[in-house]
Amino acid sequence: MLSKRARDVKPSPTLAIDAKAKALKAAGVDIVNFGVGEPDFDTPENVKDAAVRALREGFTKYTPAGGTDALKDAIAAKLKKDNGLEYSRDEIVVSCGAKHSLYNAAQALFGPGDEVIVPAPYWVSYPDQILLNDATPVIVKTSEADGFVLLPEAFEAAVTPRTKALILNSPSNPTGSAYDRKALERVADVACRRNVFVISDEIYEKLVYDGAEHASIASLSKEMRERTLVVNGLSKSHAMTGWRIGYAAGPKPVIKAMTDIQSQSTSNPNSIAQKAAVEALAGPQDSVAAMRTEFDARRRFLVDALNSLPGLSCRTPNGAFYAFPNCSRLYGKRAGDRKIAGSSDLAIYFLEEARVALVPGSAFGDGAFVRLSYATSMENVKKGVERIREALSRLA
C-alpha cells in the first residue's frame, strides 16, 4: 500500500530517542536526558509578549506562503548585520523550521540520478531528506584528528558529474565543530572550481566558544553567495523549537521554487510565530548571549568530566551544544550477559542501566562515538555524568 519512499524512510533517531526518554519520564522513571538537541531555556519573554500581542490583534490569518514582508525584512537585516550578506525579499523564504527549509531545498534541487555530498558525522535528517527526493547521499567521512572538518581533498575526490550539492553544517550537529574561515575558504575553493552548490546549515551560528567566530560560507565571495543557500532558524538561538520558524536565503530561482513548493504543501508558517520571530530577530539579544554563556559553562564541565571517565575520550567542541566522545575503547566489554558491541548497544545500556538518554553515533554515520546534548541543566549534567561513571564501572 505504501509508496517506496514511505517504505524507505526512517523516523528521525534523535526525535525517537527523545520520545522514548520522555515516555519513561512520564511513567515516573527519573531519566537524565542528553538525547535531544533542544534548549532547556524558556523562550525569551519579549518574544512571547510579541506572540500574545499578535494573537490579541487578530494576526491569525494566512500570510504570504513564503512568510511576511516584515519577517523577511528582519531576516535580511540580521543577515546583513551578522553575516555581511545582502538579500532582498525575493531571495528569502520563511519555513516551518530550518528542517522544513532544508526539505524544501531538497525538493527544489534534487532528483533521480543526483548525488549530494554529506560530510560525516552528519545531522540525522540530511541523508533521509536526500533519499526522500530520489537522490543519492554521498557520505564523506571526516576525522576526529582533523577536528571533524571536511578537507578539500576529500570533498574534491567525492565530486562527480552527478554532484548536485554539498550540505555543510557549521557549527556542526553532532560533532560541535565550528569551521574557521580558512577551512571554509578551502571548501569554497573546491565548490567554485568544481561547480558545486552549497546548502549551508547555520542553525548553531550563535553558539560558538573559545573565541571562535562564525562565518557564513556565502559571505566569502560574490561567487560563493551565488552558489549557496544559507539555512538558519530561531530554534536554537532563541529557544524556539516548538514555534517552528526557520528560513533560507539564496538565489532567486531556488527561493521561488521553495516558496512555490511550500505554497502547495504547508502554506505559510504559523502567523503568530512569524510575529514572534520578528521580535526575536529585531529585539534585544541579551538572552541569546546569556544562554550561550550557560551552554559554555556546561560544555567545559561536561567535556572535562567525560575525559575523566575510563574508556571515553572527548575532543573539546567549539560550537553548538553537543559533546561527541569517542567510545570505541569500550566496545567488546560486557556487563553480565550484556555485550557492548557498538554505539547502539552502549546507548541502550546507558538508558536501561544508568537512566541516561543519549544518541548513538551510528545515527550520525559514525559508530565510534555517542552524542550528548548539554542543552539540559548543570544539575542534570552532573547527575548524568555520575550515572555514566557508575554504569561504566560495571563494564569489564
Residues of this chain that interact with ligand GLU (CB under 6 A) are 12, 14-15, 36-38, 99, 124-125, 173
Q: 124 touches which of ligand PMP, ligand GLU, none (CB within 5 to 8 A by kind)?
A: ligand GLU
Query: Which triple of cell numbers denotes residue 307?
Result: 575525559
Q: Which residue is nearest to ligand GLU (CB)?
A: 37
Classify burial at 5, counting beta carbons within 10 Å of its beta carbon; exposed 0-12, middle 13-18, buried 19 or more: exposed
| In the complex, least distance from residue 371 CB atom to ligand GLU, rounded to whole angstroms | 8
Residue 123 binds to ligand PMP (criterion: CB under 6 A): yes
Q: Tell me whether residue 268 or residue 328 sits nearer to ligand PMP (CB atom).
A: 268
Q: Tell me whether residue 375 or residue 381 sits nearer to ligand PMP (CB atom).
A: 375
Identify whether the C-beta of residue 221 lies closer than 8 Å to the C-beta of residue 188.
Answer: yes
Determine which residue in the list 129, 169, 271, 318 makes contact with ligand PMP, applying CB under 6 A: 169
Residue 148 binds to ligand PMP (criterion: CB under 6 A): no
Q: How many secondary structure helices (H) and strands (E) does the chain include?
A: 14, 14
Residue 18 binds to ligand PMP (criterion: CB under 6 A): no
Strand partners, 313: 326
Query: Which residue shows C-alpha cell 568530566?
Result: 305
- H or E stretch including 9? none
Residue 98 binds to ligand PMP (criterion: CB under 6 A): yes
In whole angstroms, how far apart are CA 147 and each of 25, 40, 105?
Answer: 35, 27, 28
Q: Tell me whether residue 125 or residue 271 sits nearer to ligand GLU (CB atom).
A: 125
Which of 215, 227, 219, 222 shows the shortest CA–CA distance to 190? 227
| In the complex, least distance from residue 67 CB atom to ligand PMP, rounded to whole angstroms | 14
Strands 338-339 and 163-169 turn out to be unpaired
Residue 246 binds to ligand PMP (criterion: CB under 6 A): yes
Burial 245-256 (b: 16+ CB within 10 A, else e): bbbbbbbeebbe
| In the complex, least distance from residue 257 CB atom to ligand GLU, rounded to whole angstroms | 23
Q: Tell me whether residue 66 or residue 121 sits nearer to ligand GLU (CB atom).
A: 121
Determine which residue in the list 21, 75, 94, 203 makes contact with ligand PMP, applying CB under 6 A: 203
Query: Which triple of cell numbers denotes residue 273?
Result: 510565530
| In the complex, least distance from residue 37 CB atom to ligand PMP, rounded to whole angstroms | 5
Query: Which residue shows C-alpha cell 575526490?
Result: 157
Query: Which triple of cell numbers denotes residue 162?
Result: 552527478
Q: 15 touches which of ligand PMP, ligand GLU, none (CB within 5 to 8 A by kind)?
A: ligand GLU
Classify burial at 20, counting beta carbons within 10 Å of its beta carbon; exposed 0-12, middle 13-18, buried 19 or more: middle
Q: 98 touches which of ligand PMP, ligand GLU, none (CB within 5 to 8 A by kind)?
A: ligand PMP
| In the complex, least distance from residue 308 CB atom to ligand PMP, rounded to whole angstroms | 27
- H or E stretch including 224? helix 222-226
- Point out which span in 27-35, 97-105, 220-228, 326-334 binds ligand PMP (CB under 6 A): 97-105
Residues that bind ligand PMP (CB under 6 A): 37, 97-99, 123, 169, 173, 201, 203, 233, 235, 241, 246
